[in-house]
């Protein structure tokens, strides 16, 4: 990702007087004090980012840096898709701030998942997306996951089989089935993401799924479904008729 000079960012109406640092703002205007007095829900995205970033850079206070970050990335959602190297490459951020942001984004994704203490059942594709969607929808690399289910289709665990690039990942059907045997799965749920945002399965997706189904059948394991996560959209192979 090319270095972005935040000093040249145009944030017009949101611009803060550069002579006015955050410490010189009125107490009710400072993000931390505002949160303590009114609660986190009244803060803007840039104010919440400012609390995480803690400090600005030469010629820019932390509020200006956080506003410029959001403008250059397009939105908080798009910012969350970057890895720490990309965020750290933006002028005014650096390694420590970038790692802090990526850690917070990952925590948010994990919070969005159901509690590990709850019993998770995959009876409908919507339930699969609800569980794996937060984990995969912002990932800019293609990730292939196999979920292990018991005879009641309760999730007993899952494995990341492979992590690829932006357009594809290499999946070995034998490894998928080996993990299923190790985990004593009666059923398996296949899940992967399309960072492109296109939820339609490719011909390679279909061929891979059929190969896994064929191998699983010989082992007495049922492939319950294959879900493609594409941002806030998803596709079910079962609904498409690819899996019977």
The residues spanned by each domain of the chain are: 6-111, 116-240
Q: Residue 146's beta-bridge partner residues?
A: 159, 190
Mean per-residue pLDDT for 91-101?
90
Largest CA distance in the chain: 72
Q: Please say if the pLDDT value at position 166 is more than 50.
A: yes
Q: What is the mean pLDDT of the chain?
A: 86
On the 0-12 / 13-18 / 19+ scale of CB atoms within 10 A, 222 is middle
Give yes or no for a contact between 234 and 227, defined as CB atoms under 8 angstroms apart.
yes
What whole-number distance in Å separates Cα of residue 97 and Cα of residue 188?
Answer: 39
For 143, the token pair is 């990730």
CA distances, 52 to each of 43, 49, 59, 138, 162 (Å): 13, 5, 19, 20, 32
pLDDT grade for 15, boundaries at 50, 70 and 90: very low
Cα 227 to Cα 17, 88, 114, 224, distances in angstroms: 49, 33, 18, 10
Higher pLDDT, 154 or 27: 154
Residue 183: pLDDT band with limits 50, 70, 90: very high
Cα(128)–Cα(235) distance, integer angstroms:
11
169-180 average pLDDT score: 94
Q: Is the pLDDT of residue 76 over 90?
A: no
22-70 pLDDT tens trace: 556 655 578 999 899 888 988 999 999 999 999 988 888 899 999 989 9
What letter would DSSP give residue 118?
A: S
Cβ(58)–Cβ(67) below 8 Å: no
The dihedral through the CA atoms of 161, 162, 166, 170 has a sign that is negative
Confidence band (pLDDT; 50, 70, 90) for 74?
confident
Tell me what pLDDT residue 41 has. 87
Residue 107 has pLDDT above 90, yes or no: no
pLDDT at 223: 98
* The CATH number of the domain covering residues in 116-240: 3.40.140.10
Q: Please give the pLDDT value at position 19.
A: 46
Smallest Cα–Cα separation from 195: which of 74, 66, 78? 78
User: Is pLDDT above 50 for 95?
Assistant: yes
Q: 126 falls in which pLDDT band (50, 70, 90)?
A: very high
Cβ atoms of 128 and 188 within 8 Å: the answer is no
Euclidean distance between CA atoms 223 and 211, whole angstroms: 11
Mean pLDDT on 146-163: 95
Cα separation, 115 vs 95, in Å, equals 31
pLDDT above 70 (res 84): yes
Query: Which pLDDT does position 60 carry in this prediction?
Result: 86
pLDDT of residue 9: 40
Report CA-CA distances (Å) from 73 to 92, 108, 115, 165: 14, 18, 31, 21
């Amino acid at each position: 990702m090319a270095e972005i000079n935040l000093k040249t960012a145009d944030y017009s109406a949101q611009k803060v007087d550069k002579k006015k640092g955050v410490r010189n703002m009125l107490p009710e205007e400072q993000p931390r004090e505002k949160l303590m007095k009114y609660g986190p829900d009244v803060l803007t995205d840039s104010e919440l980012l400012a609390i995480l970033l803690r400090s600005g850079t030469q010629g820019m206070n932390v509020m200006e840096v956080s506003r410029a970050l959001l403008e250059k990335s397009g939105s908080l959602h798009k910012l969350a898709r970057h890895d720490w190297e990309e965020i750290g490459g933006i002028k005014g951020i650096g390694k420590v701030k970038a790692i802090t942001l990526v850690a917070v984004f990952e925590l948010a994704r994990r919070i969005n998942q159901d509690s590990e203490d709850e019993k998770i059942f995959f009876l409908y594709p919507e339930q699969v997306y609800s569980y794996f969607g937060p984990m995969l929808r912002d990932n800019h690399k293609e990730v292939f996951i196999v979920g292990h289910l018991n005879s009641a289709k309760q999730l007993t665990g899952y494995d990341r089989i492979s992590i690829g690039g932006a357009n594809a990942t290499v999946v070995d059907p034998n490894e998928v089935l080996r993990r299923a045997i190790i985990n004593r799965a009666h059923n398996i749920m296949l899940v992967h993401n399309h960072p492109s945002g296109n939820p339609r399965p490719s011909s390679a997706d279909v061929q891979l799924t059929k190969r896994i189904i064929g191998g699983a059948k010989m082992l007495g394991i049922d492939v319950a479904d294959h879900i493609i996560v594409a941002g806030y959209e998803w596709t079910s192979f079962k609904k498409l008729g690819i899996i019977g």
